[in-house]
Structure 1
Amino acid sequence: MGVNGAAVAVEPGDPLPLGPRETGDGFNVAVFSRHATRMSVVLFDAGGAAVRTVALDPARHRTGDVWHARLVGDLRGWGYALRAEGPWSPDAGHRFDPRALLLDPYAPSLAGRPRPGAARCLLADDRFDWGDDRPPRHPWRDTVIYEAHVRGLTAHPSSGARHPGRFLGVAEAIPYLRALGVTALELLPVQEAPEEAGTGWEDPETGGPLRNYWGYDPVALFAPRAAYAGEAPGAAVAEFKTMVRELHRAGIEVILDVVFNHTAEGGEDGPTFSFRGLDNAIYYMLLPGGGYADYTGCRNTLNCNHPVVRSLIVDCLRHWATQMRVDGFRFDLAAVLGRGRDGAMLPNPPLLEQIAEDPVLRDVKLIAEAWDAAGAFQLGTFPGERWAEWNARFRDDVRRFWRGDAGMAGAFATRLCGSADLYADGGAMDGPLRSVNFVACHDGPTLNDLVSYAKPHNEANGPDGPVPVDAFGENNGAEGPSEDAGIEAVRARQARNMLATLFLSRGVPMLLGGDEFRRTQRGNTNAWCQDNAVSWHDWTLVSRHAGLVRFVRRLAAFRSAHPVLAAERFYTDAEVSWFGPDGGPPEWHGPENRVGCLVREAGAVPGALCLLFNASGSLPARFPLPAATAGGWRVAIDTAAPEPGDAADAGGEAPAPEVPVLPPRSTMVLVSR
């Protein structure tokens, strides 16, 4: 049959692999649906016009639960969507609608941005010149993670990017990231998602719907988000691959924040993009009567441990690891992946074990957000091998220590040493490197806001948004921006204290993008819908806070120069010893958080580090020093010192006083060789 000058023939095709696959003379399309009674493929020409509907005869185009067809012809650049017929029986979990145009769950590229009823997959030429691309494969002990949003990194006019807000814009930021000491860039979700949030909540300023800025509501798990690329067909795939290739050339790994716990299809009144229309009863966890079980806070939950959905997730990870060449994944609300089909927590979840043991995925980094929105909190007990975890205890204990909450010295020391209370269980990932340490992340206040606001300011999210929780922040004398030099000095010192703690702690440090130059969200602790200057990186702050940027660079270099800080095992008693002010034993549960420790370094040139912390808001701390090696003690880091004395260049450390006296809220690190 001729269509717009192109001859298209339809053959039975193959049931595997699922999704679209170029065959040389056309494309094979295969899609799973157990409960559909009819399936059609709707073809769109390069201009977006629907030109043909191919009805699949079950006798010729169905193998088991897979519908398939081979479309022979020059179809590159064309779009396609699916129509599925079947029972409309919500009580039984079936929501088939033959009028709905559906996305192929395995489609690696979309034709335009996804909109309900108008979303289309792309039959694309995915060839790409990777050159001599090689994954950096940094070991966990050498890893420094920088968490950022693709759009937010360069969308602000101050970025000066030629491709603002796009994958190519990320590539333009590589020299900055490399100079900072970053070894891995962790990106908020890039899986295709709708532009609008779909919550019904309104922007209080415009009255319009809130935007889905963060992207934690995916609809096409294999496809990079078209909003982060140019308008040409297939641009998102090509630009994403270009970004990865250039990051790899700079020695920077790419870690994706992936969402396999829910989709943008929402609850019973939500839009239909794909899964609901193809086989709702298989893809989602359902309640008796057909309603959606919600363990995510997003009105639906993917049925992750159904064998079909499990295969989808593993195939998706393989796609991103092999075709898109990413180096790791951070799993949003990963506890959901350990729930069975009835919602109960499984003792040995097959999906988590399969991901960890999959031979294709053996070299990728796996990071779990080890909780969900329904009460599962598996920090330190997340099942499966090879999984690192976002350490929420590190975040909270470090914040509370430096805020001055009484009795936090013991918890602080535990976090500094790698959280043995959580990760000394004898598993295959046993040890401090199972802990991804962070003081701030996308979810919550930025570091600047943590020391500038005592309470959340989420008014811009609308009155119906989630209720903010206590983030253990402190405004240090005034709520929000201040021109008071004294207040600003304390805030700057507190920021340095927490950053120093992050890089001095055993585990894997993760820095929230922009914290190194005091990026602010104006007190907003849940900026998921703020696609504007609230969330974007204001690069003028790099020069305004150049001293803090230099401080972070020196912290990264200091950590690299002292491998004892990033060792793969916990400290032994022979390696670390603790003391309090005036040389006595530490007051682990005392009213003032003041503690010091001696860390002994082994190696060709034995040495030692002396770490001193005074989180008291009013009292100085006098620390008689332990005996040093022949070189004596020298000051490497002093958060109370003016720039650039806050972080000395290697070899430029000044001699330490015989008995250092740390002013309130300060850190000092001494070195001895």
Structure 2
Amino acid sequence: MDINKKEQIAELNLPRTIHLVPLDIINGFSVRPGFYEINGATAIPGGVNFTVHSFSATGIELVLFHRGEKEPYAVLPFPQHYRIGNVYSMIVFKLNMEEFEYVYRVSGPYDPKKGLIFDSTKDLLDPYAKAVSGQREWGKGDFWQENSYRARVVKDDFDWGNMKSPLIPMEDLIIYELHVRGFTKDLSSGVLHPGTFEGLMEKLPYLKELGVNAVELMPIFEFDEMQDSRMVDGNMLYNYWGYSTVSFFAPNTSYTASQEYNREGNELKKLIREFNKAGIEVYLDVVFNHTAEGNEQGPFFSFKGFDNNIYYLLTPDGHYYNFSGCGNTLNCNHPIVHQMIMNCLRYWVTTYRVDGFRFDLASILGRNEDGSPMDKPPLLQAMAFDPILGDVKLIAEAWDADGLYQVGTFPSWNRWAEWNGRYRDDMRRYIKGDPGCAQAAALRIAGSRDIYAENLRENASVNFFTCHDGFTLYDLYAYNYKHNEKNGWNNTDGANDNNSWNCGVEGETADGEVNALRMRMMRNAFALLMCSRGIPMFLAGDEFCNTQFGNNNAYCQDNITSWLDWSLLEKHQDMFDFFKYMIAFRKSHRILRANMSGGACGFPDVSFHGIHPWHDGPFSKDDHYVGVAFAGWDKEAGPQLVYVASNAYWEDLTITLPPLPAGLCWNMEADTWESAQRPRPCPEGRFTIRRRSVMVFTASASH
């Protein structure tokens, strides 16, 4: 049992109270009023405590099913004297938690224009369900139907031992975004349990070798892969990504290697424990902006039946606002929804020891009940200051599907970081040689100080070139256009503004020069990512040139389009080695990650340079070369100087490095023109940077 639940039950003197209060009998079951502050269904000595709330309901029934059976074996109405305020709570004794599943049926008014759509014929999933039945086997069920989701009671007896969270400083993070199923589902992964938490855990040595210290898991809350499933050209398409939550408190049981009846989540807990022991934090990509219930045409399985007009943002005539692009929008700043989200986050942190959260379409979390953006959203402020979440990383996707774009302005209280979409867009344009992008690139490399004032937004920028949403890094330099035909929407889905470049040929080619250029462009992007101030993040598989064959919206592709092809690791071992090298380089040079006492050796903390040292004023629209120098003083290692040279021009350039104080000389540490890195001195202070390439220099004592 969760330790917090134990403490709450102990405070309520449960064992003594059970014997002191007379029991009621409902349909043959012994019951008594329950514990009103413990939401959901909780196993207690001798029975199960069921607590549920609804503002407008007139009555609620608890419905019990034998596991897997279609018809219930018991229906237990909550007596009205078991209700306090809007909360119904009941202990049912002598239930074998391993043999039953449960739902609720809720009665109440029906007035759609007011958002009231109560229907006592609907079987409703508990909003606080800790496990959902019927989802165990991926793609096997017909569960995308109403009256199909049921909850189970979870026994939390996982032993965390003396594990401590890594608590990695924000500035030191290197985030690796992955899809649990797609990471190991292909046979080429070589794991014993492909497509599962266990399979991911088998790849822990690989991740340690690569050098990442945080993994961001795409949605692992229970979702239904059968949502909108359909056949296209002989291939079954699914809700593969999972950005459509069914239950916020339950892990996706189809991601487990074995059945976990009433101990759902243990495999995920083991993964988090082992990753934390290895010094790798685990973040969850969470979707609190909408649910899988959709709009008026969507299913009716949980929130709609408890308090539709509270859980969702509704128009004055009772329809659903759609700021999420998925049919509905959660009413996040209503006190009831606010409370649920906070309880949910605390649950994942205390019960699963999750290290951080990335919030999908997080700008929605700052909208008022009329849909307008709020100056100080109560929910976001509560997350920022909540004691339980005090050490947890909070990362916002600072925009939504209705055009609200808050990169740089997301309410933060110096607590929230943001996916920096401007870093992605500006750096993509610059690297492929677009005119007028040098100044923006220099600012992005330097930490986007024009967006994030350091004194107000420390470690706020999560820098990335690629994520699940869009091209892989390989495809970014293999395709000018998206190729989403297999998604079944005539290539109309997915973004059109990818800022990609195919290097002269669309798609796969046998042209050696084109392929060499593509590899170099990938190295350019990753070298600059690792040498930029801010928190770097990259997509799983980029390190060995994984491709989605030009699909930039593979949300429905449960196949090799989205699965990692691990055979590419051997083919592109040199790319993996380069990624590993640049990650290690970043880790060994703190000056790339943080301001260290404001400069060193006559250099300010950050300075910009052209082909000649000390670039004055902004870069022009014709500039394609950017030099950025970072300088600082380390108490133990002394001065640190790193000079990042990037040539997005299509010709070689001769560059003069800024002069160093006596006793120091420049050393070339990385050169993307070459696949293998050979650090060497550059004592003359002049060098030729080849076309479309990046070089990195450090200063050290001359010999």
TM-score of the two chains, using structure 2 as the length reference: 0.90
How many residue pairs get aligned? The number is 655
CA deviation string 1:486-534 (max 9, x = no partner)? 0001100000000011000000000111111111111111111111110
Greater mean deviation of Cα atoms: 506-515 or 607-616: 607-616
1:512 aligns with 2:539: yes
Secondary structure of the residue aligned to 2:524 is: helix
Equivalent position amino acid for 1:87 in 2: P
Residues 657/528 of structure 1: CA separation in 2 closer, same or farther (3 Å cut): farther
**Partner Cα distance (2:264, 2:191) in 1:** 17
Query: What is the one-letter code of the residue matched to 2:84?
Result: T
Which deviates more from structure 2 when the two are superposed, residues 303-312 or residues 60-69?
60-69
CA positional deviation for 1:332: 0.5
CA distance in structure 2 between the partners assigned to 1:267 and 1:570 by the alignment? 54
Partner Cα distance (2:156, 2:30) in 1: 22
- How far did residue 99 of structure 1 move? 1.9
Q: Find out whether 1:468 has 2:498 as its counterpart.
A: no
Which runs of structure 2 are paired with 1:289-328 in the superposition (5 Å)? 289-328=317-356
Structure 1 residue 82 and structure 2 residue 100: aligned? no
Q: Hey, what's the Cα distance between the residues in 1 that align with 2:595 and 2:331? A: 35
Read off the aligned partner of 2:323 and give its amino acid letter: Y
Match of 1:597 among 628, 650, 657: 628
Partner of 1:3: none
Q: CA–CA distance in 2 between the matches of 1:282 and 1:525? A: 35
Aligned counterpart in structure 1 of residue 512 of structure 2, from 485, 510, 519: 485
**Aligned residue among 9, 16, 20 for 2:41:** 20
Matched, 1:91 2:117: no
Q: Aligned residue for 2:14?
A: none
Q: 1:206 to 1:91 in 2, by over 3 A?
A: farther
1:658: Cα distance to partner? 4.7
- The answer to whether the 8 Å contact 2:482/2:494 transfers is no
Counterpart in the other structure of 2:203: 173
What code does the residue aligned with 1:161 have?
Answer: V
Shift of 1:423: 0.7
Is contact 2:97-2:262 (8 Å) kept?
Answer: no
Give yes or no for the alignment of 1:581 onto 2:611. yes
How far residue 583 of structure 1 moved from its aligned partner, in angstroms, is 4.6
Contact 2:484–2:493 under 8 Å retained in 1:
no
Question: Letter of the aligned partner of 2:130 in structure 1?
Answer: P
Q: Which of residues 296, 299, 305 is equivalent to 1:268?
A: 296
- Answer yes or no: is 1:352 the counterpart of 2:380: yes
Structure 2 portions without partners, runs of 5+: 1-26, 136-142
Amino acid at match of 1:377: Y
Paired with 2:296 and 2:235, the residues of 1 have a C-alpha distance of 24
Q: After superposition, give the CA deviation of every residue in 1:125-156 in whole Å (9 maximum; x if it has no partner).
A: 22112122211110011111000011011111
Matched, 1:662 2:689: yes
Q: Which range is displaced more, 256-265 or 621-630? A: 621-630
Q: Secondary structure at the match of 1:613?
A: strand
Task: Write the distance in 1 (CA, Å) between the matches of 2:561 and 2:372.
Answer: 39
The alignment partner of 2:592 has SS state of: helix
1:485 is aligned with what amino acid?
Answer: G
- TM-score, length-scaled by structure 1: 0.94
Helix, strand or coil at the partner of 2:160: coil
Q: Is the counterpart of residue 406 in structure 1 residue 435 in structure 2? A: yes
User: Which SS does the other structure have where 2:466 is aligned?
Assistant: coil
Answering whether residue 216 of structure 2 is matched by residue 189 of structure 1, we say no
Q: What per-residue deviation string (whole Å, max 9, x for no partner) do you get for residues 167-205 of structure 1?
A: 11111111111111111100001111111233xx84422
Write the letter of the residue equivalent to 2:222.
E
Residue 80 (structure 2) pairs with residue 53 (structure 1): no
Q: Secondary structure at the match of 2:468?
A: coil
Q: Is residue 107–residue 122 contact of structure 1 (8 Å, CA) maintained in 2?
A: yes
Greater shift, 599-608 or 295-304, is seen at: 599-608
Q: CA deviation at 1:231?
A: 3.0
- Name the stretch that deviates more: 284-293 or 575-584: 575-584
Once residues 615 and 352 of structure 2 are traced to their aligned partners in structure 1, the CA distance between those partners, rounded to angstroms, is 53
Q: Distance in 2 between matches of 1:281 and 1:88?
A: 11
What residue number does 2:479 align with? 453
CA distance in 1, matches of 2:66, 2:337: 31
Q: Name the CA shift for 1:657/1:454 in 2 (closer, same or farther; >3 Å).
A: farther
Question: 1:18-65 CA distances to partner (integer Å, 9 max, x unpaired)?
Answer: 111121111111112111222111112245454433333442221111
CA contact (8 A) 1:42 1:81 kept: yes
How far residue 584 of structure 1 moved from its aligned partner, in angstroms, is: 7.2
Deviation, structure 1 residue 298? 0.5
Question: What do residues 88-119 of structure 1 show as CA deviations (whole Å, max 9, x unaligned)?
Answer: 32222122222221110111112231543211
CA distance in 2, matches of 1:90, 1:425: 49
C-alpha distance in structure 2 between counterparts of 1:54 and 1:571, whole Å? 69
**Identity over the aligned pairs, expressed in percent?**
43
**Displacement of 1:657 after TM fit?**
6.2
Q: Distance in 2 between matches of 1:296 and 1:455?
A: 25
Work out whether residues 608 and 628 of structure 1, in 8 Å CA contact, stay in contact via their aligned partners in 2. no
Change (3 A) 1:7 1:171: farther
Q: Structure 1 residues 207, 517: closer, same or farther in 2, change over 3 A?
A: closer
2:668 counterpart residue number = 635
Task: Give the Å deviation of 1:313.
Answer: 0.3
Q: Where do 5+ consecutive residues of structure 1 fail to align? A: 1-5
Q: Which amino acid aligns with 2:626?
A: V
Change (3 A) 1:242 1:584: closer
Question: Does the alignment pair 1:227 with 2:254?
Answer: yes
Tell me which of 391, 394, 407 is aligned to 2:423. 394
1:454-485 residue CA offsets vs partner (Å, 9 max, x unmatched): 01111111127635321100000111111110
Q: Residue 321 of structure 1 aligns to a residue in which SS?
A: helix
SS state at 2:90 partner:
strand
Aligned counterpart in structure 2 of residue 620 of structure 1, from 652, 657, 678: 652
**Contact 2:129/2:250, CA 8 A, preserved across alignment:** yes
